[in-house]
Amino acid sequence: MRLLIATIYKEYLQLVRNKVLLFLVMACPVILLGIIPLSFDGSTRFRAAICDSEGSYRVSELVGELSLNPLFESVVFIPVPEEAEAQMDAGRLDLIIYSSSAGFQIILDGTFPRRALNALHVTDKTLFEKNQVPVVFHTMFNSGRRYNHYSLISLIVLVITLVGTALITLNVVRERESGLEEQLRSTVLDRFVYFLGKFIFFVFICLFEVVLCLLFCRLVYGLENQGSFANYLIVNVVFFFPLLGLGYVIAAFSRTQLQAVYMLTIVLILLTMLCTMFTHLSSMPQWAAATRFVNPVYYGIESSRMVIFKGATLANLAPMLGWMLCLGVVLNAVAFVRFRKA
- DSSP result, 42-66: ----EEEEEE-TT--THHHHHHHHH
Beta-carbon count within 10 A of 331 CB: 22
How far apart CA 217 and CA 37 sit, in angstroms, is: 10
User: What is the predicted pLDDT for the residue at 76?
Assistant: 82
Domain positions in the chain are 2-39+145-341, 46-128
How far apart CA 319 and CA 309 sit, in angstroms, is: 18
- The low-confidence residues of the chain, meaning pLDDT below 50, are none
Specify the 3-state DSSP secondary structure of 310. helix
Q: What superfamily does domain 46-128 belong to in CATH?
A: Periplasmic binding protein-like II (3.40.190.10)
Residue 152 carries which side chain, given as an amino acid letter? L
User: What is the predicted pLDDT for the residue at 128?
Assistant: 58
User: What is the predicted pLDDT for the residue at 135?
Assistant: 53
Per-residue pLDDT tens for 99-121? 776 667 777 776 666 666 666 66
User: What is the predicted pLDDT for the residue at 129?
Assistant: 57
**Which CB contacts under 8 angstroms, 24+ apart, belong to 24-29?**
24/163, 25/163, 25/167, 25/205, 25/208, 25/209, 26/212, 28/159, 28/162, 28/163, 29/156, 29/159, 29/209, 29/212, 29/213, 29/216
User: What is the predicted pLDDT for the residue at 290?
Assistant: 87
Beta-sheet pairing, 46-51 with 103-108: unpaired
How far apart CA 229 and CA 155 sit, in angstroms, is: 18
How far apart CA 119 and CA 95 sit, in angstroms, is: 7
How far apart CA 97 and CA 225 sit, in angstroms, is: 44
User: What is the predicted pLDDT for the residue at 51?
Assistant: 82
How far apart CA 317 and CA 107 sit, in angstroms, is: 46
